[in-house]
């Protein structure tokens, strides 16, 4: 498990992937759409997660700032380890960055083995988003 704290209020991680230079407004709109699709609010997020090559990506950092949560980044081998749990693995993503998915993998990696995908990958023109949650208890 990562070094973030999970509780019954903040038990979700928003995984994000994007092309370099994607406008912050596009990624934020996708993040909000993901939360709406999952039926959760921003106050239920514990973190934003992505691939380490996007550590300096303004759009991802802006989303983390918008929701006042940390941004966590994982290298491609760590994200690739999540491939068996992905709903939408992609050979194209693997060819580009070395893992079969960024948004779903990062959300799962941030939580660890107790994670479950609440929302599989959704897309905008230049970004992807997915939401994982920690299985604290059955709802």
Beta-bridge mates of residue 130: 15
Tell me which CATH code domain 12-134 carries. Answer: 3.30.420.180
Beta-bridge mates of residue 133: 12, 116
Report, as ranges of residue numbers, the positions in the chain whose pLDDT lies below 70: 1-3, 5, 136-139
The verdict on pTM exceeding 0.75 is yes
Structure confidence by residue, pLDDT tens digits, 91-130: 999 889 999 999 999 999 999 999 999 999 999 999 999 9
**Do 46 and 6 form a contact (C-beta atoms < 8 A)?**
yes
pLDDT for the residue 26: 98
Q: Look at strands 115-123 and 45-51 and give their pairing.
A: unpaired
């Amino acid at each position: 498990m990562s070094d973030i704290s999970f509780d019954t209020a903040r038990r979700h991680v928003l995984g994000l992937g994007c092309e370099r230079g994607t406008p912050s407004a596009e990624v934020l709109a996708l993040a909000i759409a993901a939360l709406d699709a999952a039926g959760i609010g921003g106050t239920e997020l514990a973190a934003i997660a992505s691939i380490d090559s996007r550590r300096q990506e303004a759009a991802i950092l802006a989303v983390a700032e918008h929701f006042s949560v940390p941004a966590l980044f994982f290298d491609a081998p760590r994200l690739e380890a999540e491939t068996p749990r992905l709903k939408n693995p992609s050979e194209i993503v693997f060819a580009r960055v070395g893992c079969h998915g960024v948004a779903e993998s990062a959300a799962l990696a941030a939580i660890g083995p107790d994670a479950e995908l609440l929302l599989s990958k959704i897309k905008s023109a230049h970004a992807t988003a997915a939401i994982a949650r920690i299985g604290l208890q059955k709802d």
